Amino acid sequence: MLQTITKHEFKALADQGYNRIPLVVETFADLDTPLSLYLKLANRPFSYLLESVQGGERFGRYSIIGLPARTRIVAHDRDIKVLQDDVVIESAADINPLDFVKQYQARFKTPPYQGLPRFTGGLAGYFGYETVRYIEPRLTRNAHAKTDALGVPDILLMVSEELAVVDNLSGKLYFIVYADPATDNAYEAAHQRLQQLLTQLRQPVAIPQAPAMAPSEAVSEFGEANFKAAVDQAKRYIFDGDIMQVVLAQRLSQPFAASPMSLYRALRSLNPSPYMFYYDMGDHHVVGASPEILVRLENDMVTARPIAGTRPRGKTREHDIALAEELLADPKERAEHVQLMDLGRNDVGRVAVTGSVKVTDSMVIERYSHVMHIVSNVEGKLKPGMQAIDVLKATFPAGTVSGAPKVRAMEIIDELEPSKRGIYAGAVGYLGFNGDMDLAIAIRTAVIKDKTLYVQAGAGIVADSVPESEWMETQNKARAVIRAAEIVLAGLDSNAGQLAQGKE
């Protein structure tokens, strides 16, 4: 017998005005991993897997598996649609897509559920970089001026009403299925769905095959000479007093016919990060291991965590420590970080109660597989009447992927970069039914579409930037994703055998 709320309790919640009520069942899943559970339970279009490693070393307590969503919100060039089972059920062209998302999120009234992580259902997906054009009027005139290499939506959010939450500490699994009390037999249908999921859980997982494939080369869309020329032009804007800093990015692409899940497996091993994600969006996949939060809203507390300043990891512990000390002592890196920390304070301050904004971590080193960064943490108490989308508007995009002053920097990005950024430098994550939000910056992120892998990386340009160094910084930042792709194309499950033979 499933231990969920009773039908009487369900009806009582409906009588209180809740229009989405979660039925939750707890079971053991200590013989599975989040990856195997995703393959068993989801692994179809419009599903996702979210994992976390704290400080580059410890797995987060919870992993979240979004089961295939029937409903999704898609926005492109101010045209917004809601699709259910791939059929358009609602559309709008006369409203800012972010305002539409805010209104859509407000339609859901859900009761709190104790003992689960911060996200137990809501809107999950991404806000691409082009979302800036829904926020800043000065950027709208450039909306159609650039080529769109990827052709993905500006915003794609799945309405996530069926989830599996893995408690990595206890080995337990929570199935969450939302029921609409206005629908006939909603309680019984949700109960039956939970039973189906429990049955699915006990089935063997189909192990994906990852055979070796022909290697492929990553090619820069920008090109080294053009990128360095753009750095010089950006420095002229800085010397003229137009801006203090701008982040210039380049896109690399390469043929990639392997499974996107294989790329996620390799990336999570190579580059464990606070935000690891795998989104199956039908005609494209978004696979990433981002170190950087854009913004989090939890219990009315707004958090931003700017990352700026980069060095590659050292070959030995002593070399690593020396590089960290060099990074913290580098005046260019410190100046860049201080500018972006101030920008983060200003962004949070736009939606925070006056006097509540504070820096809780200042210029600390965080280490990841290929690079280390300088990191700070900024927090503030949300103003009354503000909601998640208001926080997104105030903080999007991050200064660490745009520059300062932010709007002028984005105009220069429009001028100097050869095409639209797409998902890169936007935000990936969720807006919960409970009003909370957690969004990572879409960096260290691959987009796979039409058997092509795309990865982008940027460098912060300041007055004393050296074009060669900035080019190398973009290469270092893209390296984790490119290396993961190399491992997959070499045969993901054959490398262990090569290592065992001591092959060099």
pLDDT band at 56, cuts 50/70/90? low
**Angle formed by the axes of helices 186-201 and 34-41, to 10°?**
120
Q: What is the pTM of this model?
A: 0.92
Across the range 275-299, mean pLDDT stands at 95
What phi and psi values does residue 193 have, to the nearest 5 degrees? -65, -40
Q: Which of these ranges, 228-232, 451-455, 486-490, 493-497, has the smallest mean pLDDT? A: 493-497
Asked whether the beta carbons of 423 and 153 are under 8 A apart, the reply is no
Residue 390 has pLDDT above 70, yes or no: yes
> In the Cβ-directed half-sphere of 31, how many Cα atoms lie within 13 Å?
8
- By CB atoms closer than 10 A (0-12, 13-18, 19+), residue 224 is middle
What is the predicted pLDDT for the residue at 497? 40
Nearest-angstrom CA–CA distance, 386 and 493: 49
Nearest to 246 by CA among 392, 458, 469, 455: 458
Q: Which of these ranges, 49-63, 460-474, 477-491, has the smallest mean pLDDT? A: 49-63
Q: H helices within 240-330, ranges in order?
A: 260-270, 317-329
Across the range 52-59, mean pLDDT stands at 63
Q: Which of these ranges, 127-131, 201-205, 454-458, has the smallest mean pLDDT? A: 201-205
- By CB atoms closer than 10 A (0-12, 13-18, 19+), residue 219 is exposed
**Residue type present at position 310:** T
Share of the chain above pLDDT 90, in %: 75
Across the range 485-503, mean pLDDT stands at 65
- Quickly count: other Cβ atoms within 10 Å of residue 496's Cβ: 8
What is the predicted pLDDT for the residue at 494? 64
Residue 59 has pLDDT above 90, yes or no: no
Asked whether the beta carbons of 115 and 91 are under 8 A apart, the reply is no
* Residue 223, token pair as written in the block: 């090109």
Share of the chain above pLDDT 70, in %: 95
300 Ramachandran zone, left/alpha/beta (phi>0; psi -120 to 50): left
Instruction: Tell me the torsion sign for CA atoms 220, 226, 232, 238.
Output: negative
Residue 54 has pLDDT above 90, yes or no: no
Nearest-angstrom CA–CA distance, 178 and 108: 11
Nearest to 20 by CA among 110, 149, 130: 110
**Residue type present at position 76:** H
The set of residues, in sequence order, having a beta carbon less than 8 Å from that of 304 and lying 6+ positions away, is 293, 294, 295, 296, 344, 347, 348, 377, 378, 379, 395, 398
Enclosing H/E stretch for 110: none
3-class DSSP state for residue 240?
coil
Catalytic residues: 373, 400, 424, 444, 460
Residue 504 has pLDDT above 50, yes or no: no
- Quickly count: other Cβ atoms within 10 Å of residue 383's Cβ: 16
Residue 103 has pLDDT above 80, yes or no: yes
Across the range 9-29, mean pLDDT stands at 95
What is the predicted pLDDT for the residue at 213? 81
Across the range 479-502, mean pLDDT stands at 74
Q: State the greatest distance between any 2 C-alpha atoms of the chain, in Å, as a whole number.
A: 72
What is the predicted pLDDT for the residue at 236? 97
**Residue type present at position 485:** A
* Residue 173, token pair as written in the block: 């699994």
Across the range 155-176, mean pLDDT stands at 95
Nearest-angstrom CA–CA distance, 49 and 206: 17
Q: Model confidence over 296-337: pLDDT tens digits?
A: 999 999 999 888 888 888 999 999 999 999 999 998 888 888
**From the centroid of its chain, how far is CA 268?**
14
3-class DSSP state for residue 159?
strand
Enclosing H/E stretch for 424: none
Nearest-angstrom CA–CA distance, 386 and 90: 26
**Residue type present at position 19:** N
* Residue 416, token pair as written in the block: 């100097």
Across the range 96-102, mean pLDDT stands at 96
What is the predicted pLDDT for the residue at 502? 40
**Angle formed by the axes of helices 260-270 and 467-489, to 10°?**
120
- By CB atoms closer than 10 A (0-12, 13-18, 19+), residue 110 is buried
Residue 223 has pLDDT above 60, yes or no: yes
What is the predicted pLDDT for the residue at 1? 42
Question: What HEC string does 275-296 produce?
Answer: EEEEEECCCEEEEEEECCEEEE
Residue 242 has pLDDT above 90, yes or no: yes
Residue 26 has pLDDT above 50, yes or no: yes
- For the chain, the average pLDDT equals 91
Nearest-angstrom CA–CA distance, 77 and 208: 37
pLDDT band at 113, cuts 50/70/90? confident
What is the predicted pLDDT for the residue at 503? 37
Greater confidence (500 vs 379) lies with: 379
What is the predicted pLDDT for the residue at 209? 75
Q: Model confidence over 407-451: pLDDT tens digits?
A: 999 999 999 999 999 999 999 999 999 999 999 999 999 999 999
Q: Which of these ranges, 109-118, 225-234, 352-361, has the smallest mean pLDDT? A: 109-118
Nearest-angstrom CA–CA distance, 409 and 418: 15
Nearest-angstrom CA–CA distance, 177 and 362: 41
Q: Which domains does the chain have, with CATH numbers?
A: 7-204+217-500 (3.60.120.10)
Nearest-angstrom CA–CA distance, 319 and 313: 8
Q: How far is CA 156 from CA 63, 92, 101, in A?
A: 21, 15, 10
Across the range 339-355, mean pLDDT stands at 91
Greater confidence (389 vs 338) lies with: 389
